[in-house]
Structure 1
Amino acid sequence: MTYDIAIVGAGMAGASLAAAIGRRARVVLIEAEDMPGRHATGRSAAFWSETYGGPAVQPLTTASGPALHEGGYLTPLGSLHIGRAEDADRVERLLSDFAGTGVALSRVDPAAHVPGLRPEWRLGVWEPSCAYIDVAALHADYLAAAKTAGAVVMTDAALLRAERRDGAWRLDTRAGPVAATLLVDAAGAWADRVAEMAGVAPIGITPYRRTMVQLRTDPPAPAGLPHVVDIAGGFYFKPEAGGRLWLTPHDETPSVACDIAPEEWDVAVAIDRLEKVVDWRVEAVERRWAGLRSFAPDRAPVYGYDAKVPGFFWCAGQGGFGIQTAPAAAAMAAALLLGDGDVPEGVDAGRYGVERFSV
């Protein structure tokens, strides 16, 4: 069978795009793993924050909020950006960056939000809209919607070769051949590799390792604790069920695309940083994992047709914000891909186009 669109990657980016396309085209999702979502999607820190990713990402995050709220995927959490005296300029920059965007931010005393906070952490900015996001439910619902609309999901189907011939793509996968008119690269950490297979110049999508740990602390993570983020970028943590804490040292270590695992050094760094923030005692590291966050050179996502190779569409570079932006990003990508439909209000699709990397 020849499809209208072949999407390489069935994680959040590929699944949400397939769902947004719906019945307007015949779609096949080509997934290398035995099930979708094993990499970045399945290893998310699972929060929605309008400031996360910076001003370039915020319009997509904000535009995604209504759909995520209405779908029941968000649970209130709140985010507290904290800093020391030397971080005063960063506080001003945060407030300035989001002034006029509609994102609510206010100065607060961080000690009022975090019991046991060490006294040097005296600067605080409160972001009330931050929420937990049910990543598994969102991804599953996108896949279900795509399948209901007729999309085919191929698993264990790593892409081996891609050739454009006579106005169509001929794809060889481990699960067999696929023919499609358009090819969408939603392969996350593997995005540049997929592009090269298709004869498309890579744009420098770089995977970075991010470490997460689940801790049991004494005292347990307090009820009502918000998401807490170092305004200087050294860590963030958030409460989880049973008084547990999810913590990251906010590491960004360049990596090859692979099934990434955490390094003990990064786990130790995370704990050391936490102990410099609060007076809680770490009783146990109950889980540790790592994921790959993939960025374009300017750290903004990439959506749109390649400037030089016909029929090749980029859907890549979502960094750590692909889940929180999924509804708006998928609607925008579907509109660009199909040439119909509207880009979400408040989103400028031009700022995410691949042509910005052209020499």
Structure 2
Amino acid sequence: MTFQPDIAVIGAGIAGSSIASHLAAHRKVQLFEMEAQPGYHSTGRSAAIFSEAYGNETIRAFTRASRDFFYAPPAGFASAPLVTPRHVLVTARDGQEDALDHFTELARAAGHVEPVSIDAALALCPILRREVLSAAVLSTSPADIDVNELQQGYLRLFRQHGGVATMASEIVGLERDAQGWRILTANGEFRAPIIVNAAGAWAGEIGMLAGATDIGLQPLKRTACLIDPPVGHDISAWPMLLDVEEEFYLKPDAGMLLLSPADESVAEPCDAQPDELDIAIAVDRLERATTLKVRRIASKWAGLRSFVADRSPVIGFDRQAQDFFWFAALGGYGIQTAPASSRIAAGLILGNAGERDLDDFGIERSVMSPDRLVSEAAIRT
């Protein structure tokens, strides 16, 4: 017998996987992914770290609301810890002191952060150049996120609830009729009364296929690479090193050092590839700030982080396309906010007001609704 879903979720990155797991506990759900495996694009390429100081006010609220899940997930959700402590050392050069003060103010509201002396900063990360270091603060509340463990946990729940995943099924058409949505894929036609658009960088294109509101989604490319650690140093306990104006970041990763120029290059939805110039920029910035000499690039990659103009998520039903739900524009924060954002999104779809127990964290539904982005110029006619 053919599976007839109540809800079709498009995109099997962390957004689609997490919301599908919640919905499948209450409805029949089919998850569509254009790649052969879930999490191939942004989710699988993320240097995810849990930090309540990252992002705008909305992102920080979602992150605060996700903390308990990461540190004490439901029994059986994961076979290993979802997070491992990773301090973040934020550094400033001459002229960056005001930016460091601003970061410190935000970080203090989110967790423990304290100024550290130059000597203390060098003890924490001995490759720093003393002569260019003006000031530093240490945030001790962040943690590395095991992205694969998180996503696999959601996918296990999804399957346990009877959800059906359809891989290698690019969406080529969406049409609505009296019976609901016709979903045209590379593997044939499917139907569902409700569509959830969790397609990451492709969410804007999926919206166009559905005739939904143009939310102005823009994918931005971020580049990263792995480099060798300095000889004779145990880097396992090093903090993540972050330039206060995000000119680069460096963090230990499975015995190597992960380096990024923290770039945001405008891109179209694609299988993002690293640019040699961006890698060179990252290396130059690192070598200016530290004594490390990069002899080789062990591996390199790029991913897409998608935003709308106000850099807040878009979560809610579209006003133009009936029964079309946006779960998009999560930017580079989709992983660290997944526990709370997916619960709220699923709650809105199921009609239980979006998990009101999360209200204490200051999550405002109006600032994530797609309606906030609607203007006469943005509505397709």
Coarse TM-score class (shorter-chain normalised): over 0.9
Deviation at 1:82, TM superposition (A): 1.1
Contact 1:306 1:354 in 2 (8 A): yes
Q: How does 1:22-171 map to 2 (within 5 A)?
A: 22-71=24-73, 72-98=81-107, 101-109=109-117, 110-119=121-130, 120-166=132-178, 168-171=180-183
- State the one-letter code of the partner of 1:339: G
- State the one-letter code of the partner of 2:65: A
TM-score by structure 2 length?
Answer: 0.90
- State the one-letter code of the partner of 1:183: I
Alignment of 1:200 with 2:212, yes or no, is yes
TM-score by structure 1 length?
Answer: 0.95
Match of 1:241 among 225, 233, 254: 254
| 2:222 match: secondary structure | strand
Distance 1:241 1:106, change over 3 A: same
Instruction: Determine the C-alpha separation between the residues in 2 that align with 1:337 and 1:152.
Output: 19
Match of 1:9 among 8, 11, 14: 11
Distance 1:53 1:308, change over 3 A: same
Q: Higher strand fraction: Structure 1 or Structure 2?
A: 1
- Name the stretch that deviates more: 219-228 or 172-181: 219-228
- State the one-letter code of the partner of 1:92: D
Distance 1:105 1:350, change over 3 A: farther
Q: How does 1:209-224 map to 2 (within 5 A)?
A: 209-219=221-231, 220=233, 222-224=235-237
Alignment of 1:295 with 2:307, yes or no, is yes
Unaligned runs of 5+ in 2: 74-80, 376-381
Q: Percent identity?
A: 36
Aligned to 2:244: 231
Aligned to 1:268: 280
| 1:139 match: secondary structure | helix
- State the one-letter code of the partner of 1:356: R
- State the one-letter code of the partner of 1:73: L
Deviation at 1:65, TM superposition (A): 1.3
Deviation at 1:218, TM superposition (A): 2.5
Instruction: Determine the C-alpha separation between the residues in 2 that align with 1:73 and 1:299.
Output: 26
Unaligned runs of 5+ in 1: none
Instruction: Determine the C-alpha separation between the residues in 1 that align with 2:216 and 2:250.
Output: 30
- Name the stretch that deviates more: 34-43 or 214-223: 214-223
Deviations 1:278-304 (A, max 9, x none): 112223211101111111111111111
Deviation at 1:102, TM superposition (A): 4.0
Q: Alpha carbon RMSD of aligned pairs, Å?
A: 1.5
Match of 2:323 among 311, 325, 332: 311
Deviation at 1:29, TM superposition (A): 0.5
Contact 2:14 2:151 in 1 (8 A): yes
Deviation at 1:56, TM superposition (A): 2.6
Contact 2:82 2:149 in 1 (8 A): yes
Count of aligned residue pairs for this structure pair: 357
Contact 1:221 1:245 in 2 (8 A): no
Aligned to 2:368: 352
Deviation at 1:50, TM superposition (A): 1.5
Contact 2:111 2:140 in 1 (8 A): no
